[in-house]
Each structure stands twice: as structure tokens, then as C-alpha cells.
A = this chain, B = another copy of it.
């Protein structure tokens, strides 16, 4: 073969593994071994190759690697979470874990209620051949989805409010315990008539938080009145509606725990509309510690959900073997904690 023009005319093109191999006087395979940190390599050879790599500013072409490996250097975020702040926090956590690696993040919102959900995700995973995916609640609670990931050979880590899977595939928080503590704090402040605004049926987080609420009520020897439990679906609007139902009660509850901050903000909104003062006439606790909790008046006492840490941990679990071989020491449980602000006070004597 005549020698190709890879000198001046190819100046603009990025160097390939071949350029490195030629300049270092080794074969492609050796360069490949250096890139992939093969242990069976002469130190001298490795250093020489690495020097050339630096000199050329060579970086492996991800597209070519993807084709050869049958796997992309992409981490997917699959979610159907309606809360913007939560989704963005998760994205930040994942990107923190991916910073400095060759991985990028692709975002894939899905529709939980679509009958095509599984087919859509399967097509997505098979086509893009993602390295792995992070599953955000509530869709992370879908076991069929996890099985699907296994089937198509895509790693996955689920995030959630309880241990739904083996620790290799799961990063969870301890919602039940955290809500128990939050409710106990209300009781300890003197409240006896405490309302609960639940999350939607079928959400594991909703169930865990209700259980924590019930744990505290029972532990204090209080009555668990069905009428004090109202349903919501994690939106501000349902928070308003549920709060109105609870505030119509007689006797009226002196405190309400909401399963997330959006709904808690709805409680504060509804109370304000009725001229009920928070926290003087009504104490409120939320869950998540999204920015809205600190930005309404009064600032919301809430349970801080360590969503960023959870996402970071999830992404590290996914790529950990590749980035730091042998580092599978990512925690599978991150604790939630109560953040006390201004929406809780002792009940008024005449009300109690």
C-alpha cells in the first residue's frame, strides 16, 4: 500500500489509536491495554505509551469503543417524577459522580401509565446500549422494569424509600423511621390531633411514610383516626384540597404531616386562605426539603431527603467498577433527617 497522507492534511483530525501506536513504536493492542488499564503490561512500555498519549492529546473515540464493545459510555436516567427540583437534584448527583469520567448522562422521562412503557424502555435500552441506568422513584418501584434491565443486559440501580432490591441494585433512604421521628416531634410539642396527607396509592414512598406516621401515633398511645388521614398525589393542588378537608373537621387537627413539601405548601396555602395562622393555629411538617420548603412563609419544618447523595451513590455504583476498579463500597442506605424551621409550634391551649 502507498503511505496515506496523515501528515499535514490530517492536521485537523484528532489522533487515533493508530497514531499513538506508530509514534510509540508498539501495536494498537498495546495502546488499547494502556487505555483499559490492563495489569499485564511492562511498566516501561506503559510509560512510553502514556507519554505519547499526552503528547498527542489523544483521547479514545467513544463512538468506536461503543461499537466494538457493544455498549455505550452513557448512563441513563429513567424517571417519571413530576417534581422538578427532585429530578434536577438527581441529575446533579449523577453528574457529580460522572465528572471526570468518560461517561455522559442521557435523560429519559417515561409515562408510568402508558401500556407501552416496557416496550418503549426496552427499545431505548437495546438501541442505545446504555452502560447502565438509574431508576428514580416512583418508576423505580416497578419490578418488571428492573427485570427488563437485567434481560437486555443493562446494569441498573434503583433509588427509593425502602430496600426493594439487592444492595448492588439499590440506594434507599429510611423514610419510615424519619417520619416516625417527625411525627414524634409533633407529639412531643403537645399535639394530640394530628392529620396526615398521604401520597398516592401504590407509591412505596407513600406507604413507608404512612407507616412511620402510624408507628409514632401508636407508640404515643394516641388513637389512629381514619378521618385524620387524607389522600393526595404529591401535588400542590391535592395538598390544598386535602388540607381543606382536614381543616373542615371538628375538632380540627392542630398539626398536619404531609408526605411531601409540595402538599405541605398546599396546606399552608389553604390555611392562609382560611385565615388560619401557621404555626400558631396549625403546625405543618413536610418531606423532601426542596427549596419551596424554605421559601414560603413560614419556612417549613420538613424531613430532608438525601436525594443528591443517593443519586451520586447510585451512579457510582453503576460505573464504580470501571472508574475505580474494586470500589464497590457505595452505601445502599442514606439516612433522612428532620430539619426544624418555623412551621411547628405547640398547640394553642384553647384548641387543645
**A336 sits at the interface (CB 8 A):** no
Q: Are B105 and A106 in contact (CB under 8 A)?
A: yes
Encoded as 1 (CB less than 8 Å from any B CB) or 0, chain A from 68 to 88 comes to 001010100000000011011
**A292 sits at the interface (CB 8 A):** yes
For the complex with contacts A84-B89, A84-B291, 5 further pairs of A-B residues with Cβ separation under 8 Å are A63-B70, A88-B88, A236-B291, A236-B295, A265-B296
Chain A, 80-113, CB within 8 A of any chain B CB: 84-85, 87-89, 91-92, 95, 102, 104-109
Q: Are A95 and B109 in contact (CB under 8 A)?
A: yes
Flag the segment in A126-134, A156-164, A165-173, A325-333 that touches B.
A126-134
Residues of B within 8 A of A92 (CB): 109
**A269 sits at the interface (CB 8 A):** yes
Q: Are B295 and A273 in contact (CB under 8 A)?
A: no
Query: A92-B109, A105-B106, A297-B273 known; A63 and B72 CB under 8 Å?
Result: yes
Interface residues on A, range: 35 or more
**A14 sits at the interface (CB 8 A):** yes
Q: Are B104 and A59 in contact (CB under 8 A)?
A: no
Q: Closest 7 CB pairs between A and B?
A: A63-B66, A84-B88, A272-B297, A63-B67, A84-B85, A104-B106, A106-B106
- Assembly CA distance A66 to B65 (angstroms): 11
Most chain B CB inside 10 Å of its own CB: which residue of A59, A63, A66, A102: A63
- Assembly CA distance A87 to B87 (angstroms): 10
**A62 sits at the interface (CB 8 A):** yes
- Assembly CA distance A268 to B292 (angstroms): 13
- Assembly CA distance A192 to B109 (angstroms): 47
| Minimum Cβ distance to chain B for residue A240 (Å) | 9
Residues of B within 8 A of A297 (CB): 268-269, 272-273
**A64 sits at the interface (CB 8 A):** yes
- Assembly CA distance A66 to B104 (angstroms): 16
Residues of B within 8 A of A91 (CB): 107, 109
Q: Are A105 and B104 in contact (CB under 8 A)?
A: no
Residues of B within 8 A of A272 (CB): 297
- Assembly CA distance A14 to B126 (angstroms): 9
- Assembly CA distance A102 to B106 (angstroms): 13
Residues of B within 8 A of A262 (CB): 295
Find the B residue at minimum CB distance from A296: B296
Chain A, 253-308, CB within 8 A of any chain B CB: 262, 265-266, 268-269, 272-273, 291-292, 294-297
| A to B CB contacts below 8 Å, 25 in the list | A14-B126, A59-B123, A61-B127, A63-B63, A63-B66, A63-B72, A63-B129, A66-B66, A67-B67, A84-B87, A84-B89, A84-B291, A91-B109, A95-B109, A102-B127, A104-B128, A105-B107, A106-B107, A236-B291, A236-B295, A262-B295, A266-B295, A269-B297, A273-B297, A296-B296
Residues of B within 8 A of A268 (CB): 297
| Minimum Cβ distance to chain B for residue A59 (Å) | 6
Residues of B within 8 A of A87 (CB): 84, 88
Find the B residue at minimum CB distance from A72: B63
| Minimum Cβ distance to chain B for residue A279 (Å) | 14
Q: Quick one: which of B84, B88, B128 contacts A62, CB cutoff 8 A?
A: B128
